[in-house]
A and B are shown apart, each in its own frame.
Chain A
């Protein structure tokens, strides 16, 4: 196994496990940042430079910050010694382990194990831009509509009642 890949995979998995298992929510968000950064490094390793930097820009730079804001907004008068697991956590864990097992078996038994390592593609941002503005114009407009709707919706939902519509 490639040592760089092994290190990044370990970092990402450890960050992900910590992000969903720690008690302190702020620590969870910080571990999520580690997992996102590890994924960005994996994208760089896979020669998808633009996606790697977009991952850092959007996930590490914005989504993680938004999660920290939400954590700070919702930390209230909770006593510290409440259980962190939901009441039906055994069933949930069982389902997750089953799904993980199914995915693992599917990958292990599929033909991708013997897939040849092809020479690395060299995508340039210019080619991405040309693809984006020719074949993917309609998805681009739909994403624009979706982002606008999401922004308006999220602002309306999160706005305080006092400062509501005027």
Chain B
């Protein structure tokens, strides 16, 4: 049976050509104007990609599953190998904390420098600033000069905080 593209388009009950549900459409909308609603039917050569375009996050899920399996399988195999070929025989000498030289004392968890936390605060604040800058940047061409000034005001406030922290010497590593 030979199907040309016209028959594909006409036979909407054809099992492969399910309509893309608009609710799952990839709508990040960087270019804004793509608000085509309604039913879009997959025809012709794109039918092979139908599953993926039906669920735009299917790829993410697949990557996630692979990312979980990828380290777990070698770890499990190594565990299995160790259990079959080198059964555990713990002893006081074998469990001693010893690398080389003198024996180490105390825990491996040393006190953490609090400078890291100050950097973390500044990073967090500017991370939040970024999520407000993204919509502004995407809508930039439609905005008025007042909106631009308002955003510059917002940025000025945050930069003021950064300059203050810089002057306090928070950004210099000691």
Binding site for B on A (CB under 8 A): 41, 44, 47, 49-50, 54, 57-58, 61-63, 65-66, 69-70, 72-73, 75, 119-120, 122-130, 132-134, 137, 140-141, 143-145, 147-148, 150-152, 154-155, 158-160, 163, 165-166
Which residues of chain A are within 8 angstroms of B168 by Cβ–Cβ distance? 155, 159, 165-166
* A-B contact list, 21 entries, CB within 8 Å: A47-B23, A58-B131, A63-B124, A65-B120, A124-B138, A125-B30, A127-B32, A133-B139, A133-B143, A144-B158, A147-B128, A147-B161, A148-B157, A148-B158, A148-B160, A151-B121, A151-B161, A152-B165, A155-B118, A159-B118, A159-B170
A122 touching B147, Cβ below 8 Å? no
Which residues of chain A are within 8 angstroms of B161 by Cβ–Cβ distance? 147-148, 151-152
Please tell me if B123 contacts chain A, counting CB pairs below 8 Å.
Answer: yes
B112 touching A72, Cβ below 8 Å? yes
Which residues of chain A are within 8 angstroms of B124 by Cβ–Cβ distance? 58, 62-63, 66
State the CA gap A143–B39 with chains docked (Å).
40
A126 touching B142, Cβ below 8 Å? yes
A42 to chain B, nearest CB (A): 12
B112 touching A73, Cβ below 8 Å? yes
User: With A61-B127, A122-B22 given, is the CB distance from A132 to B135 under 8 Å?
Assistant: yes
Number of interface residues of B (CB under 8 A): 57
B33 to chain A, nearest CB (A): 8
Say what secondary structure dominates the interface of chain B.
helix
Which residues of chain A are within 8 angstroms of B98 by Cβ–Cβ distance? none
User: With A69-B116, A133-B143, A133-B147 given, is the CB distance from A155 to B165 under 8 Å?
Assistant: yes
What are the 9 A-B residue pairs with the smallest beta carbon separation, nearest first? A129-B139, A124-B29, A120-B23, A129-B135, A133-B147, A126-B32, A144-B154, A148-B161, A144-B157
Please tell me if B117 contacts chain A, counting CB pairs below 8 Å.
Answer: yes
Please tell me if B78 contacts chain A, counting CB pairs below 8 Å.
Answer: no
Which residues of chain B are within 8 angstroms of A126 by Cβ–Cβ distance? 29, 32, 135, 138-139, 142
Which residues of chain A are within 8 angstroms of B112 by Cβ–Cβ distance? 69, 72-73
B35 to chain A, nearest CB (A): 6
Chain B residue nearest to A134 (CB atoms) is B147
A48 to chain B, nearest CB (A): 10
Counting chain B CB atoms within 10 Å of each CB, which of A72, A125, A151, A158 scores highest? A151
A69 to chain B, nearest CB (A): 5
Which residues of chain A are within 8 angstroms of B90 by Cβ–Cβ distance? none
Which residues 87-108 of B sit at the A interface, judged by CB distance below 8 A? none
Chain A residue nearest to B117 (CB atoms) is A69
Which residues 139-168 of B sit at the A interface, judged by CB distance below 8 A? 139-140, 142-143, 147, 150-151, 153-155, 157-158, 160-162, 164-165, 168
Chain A residue nearest to B26 (CB atoms) is A49
B157 touching A145, Cβ below 8 Å? yes
